[in-house]
Structure 1
């Protein structure tokens, strides 16, 4: 049987026919492979050419813009450094100016045509002639200057009254710059200016380039939006060919500041013949493939014998193929998609059964009516996209649109189609996959809405917002007020801020930017920058937007800085005014107290002489007037100290009921004189000993009770009640209530009554005199002691003043240690023959003649003779030669004041035991402190009475006697 099969001619013919058929198929296969190989090679060459052109056109555009900006900056520098008197003087000024002009021409020879420099009284122009001579021309007037062209720049230095008019030769500049790039014989170098194409050859230019509508529209749109790119299509006039040529056109927009024209550099390359120059090699390749084909046919016999084996293996693999189809179905179901097939006419020939799960339609229903399930506008858009793909013979298409489900709901789908062509490039049909992407589409739309909301927020912010990549290149911006920018923001995109920002701002920004990149922490900086509208101050914050971007937010704070500066200046002015006020008050105190010291002192001495009753009355009037004046000065100084914060509490422990009653005894004369029913009730819970500022609480009681008595008519009533409320162990609140049956206070004046210099009756005919400071001082002192003052009053009935102070209860304090400021007042003290009892060597340091006379007379009554020094220098010299027991030292003196003199004396060993008593009209606390710190033992404020000096001498030297 095997032999019969071998010799059977029919079997041989069938086998030979089969082999021939296979051979023909292989030849066709070789041709298809050859065509595909040629197409791939051609596409590779075109792609390589396009990549190269993309790089070159970008470099050319940047060079054109950078070189022109360099010229413009040089011209700005030139005009800003011109002097208006250059041609008014002779000598080196003109020569130096013309050398600078020639140097600028040499640096920018390609772009500059001529420049005209206008001085206040002279006009000169410069240009190079055809023989390369640098020509200068002078003009007598503006009217005689050459006509100004459109391609010109006018730069003005208004401050100096000079200007430069620059005429630019664009064609020469573009031709010279573009000559640096070689595109071969099939390429053209073009400049696009506001929609016009100018082709530049090495020595000339032409404008006969004709680009068809769609390509021209694409180029114009992209350039207007500042986008680079490339397009392919038919171009007329390329390489001066009459017929359209298929070319690749690459463009890069650039700007030439200050011209507002749109510019772009375009490189076009003929690609119609790319790949055909390798046809010779291609034929040899085909021959080799034919030889290879013959070898393949020879081996076909062996292939036939193996067919059966292959069929067997195919059968065995059928299960695997079915598994693959099953997995494909699962994948489509999981991705909510289905597969479909279409023929060349666009009719649906097959669709996967998954279409029912995705859209709800049966397969037959979808095959017949799928176009009706699309929106009309989507159908037209899809047909246009398919047409574009077929025209360009692309193999794939991916797009999105809406499909109507059988339920009536619209759903977003994405289709991916593979286009199939035969060997001649004829479209045969396509296979596609349709996927439901509604969830992803809704998420993307929400993301877009969120981005739009964010963009709206950013656009509404007053800050200047810029976004950079991690290298510092501007990516995006949000700017409301463009006047706060150095240049239009769109011109900065694609540039690094290091190439734009001037120093020293650039260094600050670079440092902050690098810290943000390396640490991830935000940075804040302030800087000043000169803008067209003047110098402005900005606060800028930089921080990372994400891993790839950095954002800066700059806010103009010029006004805020000016306000802060004004506030600081106002603060300094207020402090200076406060110091001036303190100095004035100190001087006023000194100037008033100094003569009053002499006046009241002399009156005190005069009282001790033989006088009749009338003379004693006159002296008493004078003393009362002087004491009243001193009281007024004290009130003013007290309020000033309180107002400036220099008043402190001087706490001491004292017998509270005893001190209150002692203060009330000061009013006994007035009470009897006006026949006032005065009563004082101290609550039984009032502590015996408290820690308070005795002088200040006495001053408050004196002022308020004194006012109540003063404004209560004869025969009226004044009632004082004091209660105590304990809290937190040893702390107590002392409540005072002073009620009178006086005139009463109008309600509208109660709130202002505690203001300084305010009185109920402020007229010059008022019945009750006073400064209006008593209540103001009392209120401040009460608040200083932790309490508050309240006033209730009714006209014709009377007033009630209530206040409280905080104190500390001191138990077992029968003999408390008292720390208090020395008072100039006291009980009468016998001072007769004091010099015999306490012999002393006394030095008086005083420059005022009146005070000097008073002190001499006073000390003579005490029995002392004085050595006198008229200033601090004399005092130091006297102490060097003699040791004094007591030195009475004035503070304010010429040549050397009392403080410095005391310091000098304390440096002398033999004067260490001397008692130095400061005498001054200044009553401020810091004056006392300064005196004690200088080395003084005690401090008395003027006016000083004989009793004060006698008491001080007795206390000081009896204390020394005990210590000895």
Structure 2
């Protein structure tokens, strides 16, 4: 990551720092003499130099000045550390040692003791790995005693804080109103103009998250309790020791950062909630409008369908009469043409019935009826209606029913429609093979027949359902297309040039009807092997009839 020259005589400080920087991936060279430095500079070029101000046999200030004036080394960032305090004046004009005054030319000046992690932040910034320099917390010192302000200011500067002094409560409040708020305020309880508690209350009105440490010369416990009730972060009695004060400042900074982060997150959450509610309202309005439009569409389709079905039934009926010779004999060509009209009319009627059925289902206009449904008889009726289609494709059919198969309890008309749609699909998508229609009670179905297809829970836990299935040996369906099969007007191949015609309503209608009667529909399929559609219908509860 970079070469670091560590120029120190104090091994108690340099050893832990060298170890930490090495762990961070830096190449650290520890240097304790001018000779070692010259040898190291001949073989290695440092990316950063960390230099102690006070060295044995070597003046750190003079060395810093020499390096900064050298044409080859002057651009190397230097971090100078020292246990001595430098005032603002000394930083600006230099520090005097003996008869010489040395300018402060280091890129960073840090007061010891300082944590290795803090030095690493400065290194990262000087090497361009961080976009901003390490943050320096601002501390307001509000006290009318000059000695205390001077003590706190000097101490805080040594610890790399930015202290600002105020001798009255009003000057502190004016500074808060006109500038960026500090991180911590060290507030004296007794001020010459206004009480420290009044200042605290005004601070809390504008900046509730600023950390405040209350200082007082009074030892009254009631005062401490009162200060805590007024939301002061810490309380310390004068005269105080520096170390406890620094500890309080550190704790208050941490607490203040937590409060500020909490406030920021709450504000962000409120804003996010506001946006979510706004979008939710828009979405709800759009959904409501879509439901209204869908209802109107369904009602329109149902009404138009009924209007079309009446004349279409007349066309089909009169065509059948013509073919039966009620208007006189027909030649072969006339019979062939009228048969085409009749087939087209029946096909159109089937499509129209599907459209009306799905429109009524969507509009909630389907009245549920419950009849005793003999499954075997209904299957025979459907197979008879589809006999010509089955014979045209030379398909075989077989039926597998339980010996004591109970009757279903649903609408005979709707169950017949469901079976018609499923068997018609099996015929449409099969070019050869066998179509198998099976029925059994839920708990008596052979496990191999249904459980590999992931049936709904009531198939394996309840005995008051019939499981019906229609199996073909056709083209099969890919599993990723299962979900769209039951959408209205959708087919796996929806192109205009698709091989298999149809409106894509049969399975959608079947699913809606099965759901209305409390059943479920599902399938299993393999490409080139075939498909099996399963569905359940309830059995009449004999206990209810009694």
Q: Shorter chain as normaliser: what TM range?
A: 0.3 to 0.5
Structure with the greater alpha carbon radius of gyration: 1
- Structure number having the greater strand percentage: 1
- Where relative contact order (Cα < 8 A, 6+ residues apart) is larger, the structure is 2
Compute the TM-score of the two structures, normalised by the length of structure 2. Answer: 0.47
